[in-house]
Amino acid sequence: MSERAQILLFDLDGTLISAGGAGRSAMQGAIDEMFGRDDLLDFDFSGRTDRAIARAALHKAGVDADEIEAAIGRFLDRYVEVLAAALDPPPERYRVLPGVLALLDALESAGGAGVALGLGTGNIEAGARIKLSPAGLANRFAFGGFGSDAEDRAALLEIGARRGAARLGVPRERCRVVIIGDTPLDIAAAHAIGAECLAVSTGNFAAETLRDAERVVETLDASLWQWLLDR
C-alpha cells in the first residue's frame, strides 16, 4: 500500500455528469441578454474553463481589453442565475455518468484519513455546485480547484491539489495527485503539475485520443478504487 497521501481531483462535465446541454444553454442565455447575438459561442467548450469561454466570446463581441475583466464577471454572474433556473428541474437528458456513484462509494469506503476527494474543473465553483446538485453530488466534494480560481486549467488543478494537501495536513510535494478527466486538456494539465491522470471516454473524446494518460477507461467503475489509491 502506498504511504503517500492521495488527492483525487475529478473533472465534472463528461466525467461525473452530463448536464443535458444546460451549461451551454445557460451561457447562450447570458450572452443573448448582453449582446443579442447567437454566434459568440460557436466553438467547442471541451476542456475549456468558464472564464476562458467567457473571454473568447466577449473578445469576439468586440469588448475593449480594458473592460473585459468586468464584463467577464457580469457574464458569469448572470450565467449562474440562468443555469440554476435551467436545472430546476433538470432536463431529461441530465444524467450521472456510468460507474460514478459506485466508484465514489468505493473510494469513500476504502480511502481512510489519507485520501482527499475533490473537484478539478473549469467550471466556476458556483456553477459546478449547481450542476452537481440535481444528482446529489454537490456535497460529496468538500473542496476543489475551479474555473473561478484560475483561467488556466493547470493552475486551477494546482490550487485544488494544494487545498487537498492542506485538508490532509501534509505538504503538497508529499502527495500523490490523480486527475480524473475526459479530455486531452485534462491530461496535459495533470502532467503540467506533476500529477497522474485517469482518462475516461464518457465525454466527447474517444479512448485512442486520450492515450497520453496513465490509464484510460471506457467508463468509471468501482474496481478503479485500487488503482486510484495505489493499492
CB 105: neighbour CB atoms within 10 A? 13
Grid coordinates given for 39: 454566434
- Cα radius of gyration (the chain): 17
Q: What is the pLDDT of residue 95?
A: 98
Which part of the chain has CATH 3.40.50.1000? 5-19+95-228
Mean pLDDT value across residues 194-216: 97
Dihedral pair phi/psi, residue 15, rounded to 5°: -115, -55
- What's the average model confidence in pLDDT over 23-30? 96
pLDDT of residue 1 exceeding 60, the answer is no
Domain with CATH 1.10.150 in the chain: 22-86
pLDDT at residue 137, rounded to an integer: 97
CATH number of 22-86: 1.10.150
Under DSSP, the state recorded for 133 is G
Q: What is the pLDDT of residues 111-157, one digit of tens each?
A: 888 999 999 999 999 999 999 999 999 999 999 999 999 999 999 99
Provide, rounded to the nearest whole percent, the portion of the chain with pLDDT above 70.
99
Please compute the mean of the pLDDT values over residues 23-46 and round it to a whole number: 94
Average pLDDT over residues 217-222: 98
Mean pLDDT over all residues of the chain? 96
Single pTM value for the model: 0.96
Could you give the count of Cα atoms lying within 13 Å of 80 in the half-sphere of its Cβ? 17
Q: Which CATH number fits domain 5-19+95-228: 3.90.1260.10, 3.40.50.1000, 3.40.50.720, 3.40.605.10?
A: 3.40.50.1000
| Per-residue pLDDT at 46 | 87
Whether the CB-CB separation of 110 and 229 falls below 8 Å is answered with yes
Show Cβ contacts of residue 171 under 8 Å, excluding neighbours closer than 6 positions. 165
Question: 140 CB contacts (<8 Å, ≥6 apart)?
Answer: 104, 108, 117, 132
